[in-house]
């Protein structure tokens, strides 16, 4: 009789332990899912804000949609002169403009001679590359990735050479029609079109 009670108690205790473990795992999964969603939402909001402020330059690709005009809608690349070739209206200056400013310019160019009350939307498909020179293993141009920093650029370029100064860099950035030289650290954010220079250290 006592043995039966002991077995029943052990069974109940084992069941409670399993139930507690299941509950704990469920809580961890819910917290993890909630955190992941929050991170994704924050990243999405940040990208939306960055896209709104981002100014186009040579090498950027955009998707233009003109509602009801499939022959005008499509993907376009900003050329070396900061222009894109658009049907009907010819070359349109896009360099230095935000997506919203380019949208307004295309609406103005199309209306009223070509399209009555055009509805135009702009989406940035890909950014122009960044460049890295100096004391890295593989200098050159690389595709830009949103949110990248100087040290990410170094990693893409194969890492430092043995002569590199690993904490001291500078960026050359085009702002409007001018080029600016900025001191940088490994954590400094990189923008499309930036030139990262990895300096040489002197022994």
84: tokens are: 């894109």
Residue 152 host element (H or E): helix 150-156
The pLDDT of residue 53 is: 83
Q: SS3 for 183?
A: strand
The pLDDT of residue 31 is: 38
Instruction: From 150, 109, 105, select the one nearest 132 (Cα to Cα).
Output: 150
Residue 71 host element (H or E): none
Count of beta carbons in the 10 Å neighbourhood of residue 169: 24
Q: Flag residues of the chain having pLDDT under 50.
A: 2-7, 10-11, 15, 17, 21-49
Asked if 89 and 109 count as a contact pair (C-beta separation under 8 A), the reply is yes
The predicted-structure confidence for 17-30, as pLDDT tens digits, reads as follows: 465 544 443 443 33
The pLDDT of residue 65 is: 95
The pLDDT of residue 160 is: 95
Q: How far apart are CA 61 and CA 127, in angstroms?
A: 7
The pLDDT of residue 43 is: 36
- Please state the pTM of the whole predicted model: 0.65
The pLDDT of residue 9 is: 54
The pLDDT of residue 11 is: 46
């Amino acid at each position: 009789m006592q043995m039966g009670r002991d077995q029943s108690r052990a069974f109940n205790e084992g069941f409670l332990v399993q139930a507690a473990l299941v509950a704990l795992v469920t809580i961890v999964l819910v917290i993890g899912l909630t955190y992941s969603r929050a991170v994704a939402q924050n990243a999405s909001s940040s990208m939306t804000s960055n896209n709104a402020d981002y100014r186009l330059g040579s090498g950027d690709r955009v998707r233009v949609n003109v509602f009801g005009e499939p022959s005008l809608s499509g993907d376009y690349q900003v050329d070396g002169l900061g222009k894109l070739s658009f049907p009907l209206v010819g070359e349109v200056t896009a360099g230095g403009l935000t997506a919203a400013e380019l949208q307004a310019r295309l609406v103005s160019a199309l209306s009223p001679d070509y399209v009555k009350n055009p509805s135009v939307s702009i989406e940035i498909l890909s950014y122009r590359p960044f460049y890295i020179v100096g004391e890295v293993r593989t200098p050159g141009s690389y595709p830009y990735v949103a949110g990248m920093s100087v040290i990410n650029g170094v990693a893409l370029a194969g890492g430092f050479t043995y002569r590199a100064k690993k904490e001291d860099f500078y960026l050359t950035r085009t702002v409007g029609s001018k080029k600016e030289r900025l001191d940088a650290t490994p954590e400094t954010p990189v923008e499309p079109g930036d030139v990262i220079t990895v300096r040489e250290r002197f022994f």
